Structure 1
Amino acid sequence: MNNPTGTTSGPERQLLEYMLDYTRAELIDTVRGLSEAEARRRLVPSMTTSIGLVKHAAFAERKWFQHILGGLPESECDGAMVGEDSFVVSDDETVADVIAEFERAGNRARTIAADIELDAIRQHPACGTVSLRWIYLLLIQEFARHAGHSDILREQTEATRRT
């Protein structure tokens, strides 16, 4: 999955789904191999951590695919639905746990979206009318941004290992 040129042409939906899966994998790759302490290390003034970025991405998957697209009440979604706390990882959660949570949310997102047309619209309380196409684009952008953030955190972590 590390080669974004693997799928460069084809139907729009195939390209969108490929790029979403690509950015999901890129975000996961930024935390694989980090120790528990390294994944939780705060290297910027905010509460941002590598593991927290993956935790937040799992929340985003649930919010957009399960709740908005699938119409599930937040109480029936597969995990926490409190956005402001979505970066918070409890002490008893491991890197593997958070990756698995994100992967489960992605798998469920694929299932929910499978039979929905790109132009199908749903209502979001703050954004208004959104289409599945827009949700795909939003999450590609969000996961790519967070993978970049986490990649920088990983680079900083690896630099401290060498000193």
Structure 2
Amino acid sequence: MKTPNRLTDCPERQMLAYMLDHTRAELIATVRGLSEAESRRRLVPSMTTPIGLVKHAAFAERKWFQHILGGLPESACDGAMVGEASFTVGDDETVADVIAEFERASHRARTIAADVDLDATRQHPACGTVSLRWIYLLMIQEFARHAGHSDILREQTDAIRRA
């Protein structure tokens, strides 16, 4: 087997896993160092907040990897399985708690996906037949988009701090 000397020519599975981990880390980086109040500050008309984006990402990990790929019933997943409400963070949850929740969900996602072939398919009630490859690409897209949202919110928060 060829040993890749850089990420750009490594096997597809390794590349997808790396890119997904990279977008996970980028999303987490946007909330590290924010105070509890800053992480919850609404700077856009929607309910979107930096901590809410990480909370939602944990939900997405559970939905796609535990429920769809792993076949677990929603009740057996590691946390809340509620769509749009997944952006809602409880008053008792801290930034550290939500990051830890996302990291636990990400770890479990890696474990579930580890022995599944990229071409293996599962059924999603709305999307139909999906492969693990498609789930990886969806999660990379989802987390990159949310990291971008959170990066802008972080930039606004940092500007408020300096003002």
Please state which band the TM-score falls in when normalised by the shorter chain: over 0.9
* 2:134 matched residue in structure 1: 134
Q: SS of the counterpart of 2:92?
A: coil
* Mapped partners of 2:66, 2:151: distance in 1: 28
Q: SS of the counterpart of 1:33?
A: coil
Q: SS of the counterpart of 1:19?
A: helix
Matches within 5 A, 1:1-163: 7-163=7-163
Q: Report the aligned-residue RMSD.
A: 0.6
Q: Letter of the aligned partner of 1:33 in structure 2?
A: G
TM-score using structure 1 length: 0.96
* Mapped partners of 2:88, 2:59: distance in 1: 11
* Mapped partners of 2:60, 2:10: distance in 1: 27
Q: Letter of the aligned partner of 1:23 in structure 2?
A: T
Shift of the alpha carbon at 1:64? 0.1
* Mapped partners of 1:59, 1:108: distance in 2: 12
Q: SS of the counterpart of 2:87?
A: coil
Shift of the alpha carbon at 1:84? 1.8
Shift of the alpha carbon at 1:9? 1.9
Shift of the alpha carbon at 1:58? 0.1
- Render the CA deviation track for 1:10-35: whole Å, top value 9, x for unaligned: 10000000000000000000000000
Unaligned runs of 5+ in 1: 1-5
* Mapped partners of 1:29, 1:107: distance in 2: 17
Q: SS of the counterpart of 1:86?
A: helix
* Mapped partners of 2:104, 2:56: distance in 1: 14
Shift of the alpha carbon at 1:44? 0.1
Unaligned runs of 5+ in 2: 1-5
Q: Letter of the aligned partner of 1:130 in structure 2?
A: V
* Mapped partners of 2:37, 2:114: distance in 1: 37
Q: SS of the counterpart of 1:68?
A: helix
Q: SS of the counterpart of 2:148?
A: helix
Q: SS of the counterpart of 1:82?
A: coil
Shift of the alpha carbon at 1:7? 2.2
Q: Size of the alignment, in residue pairs? A: 158
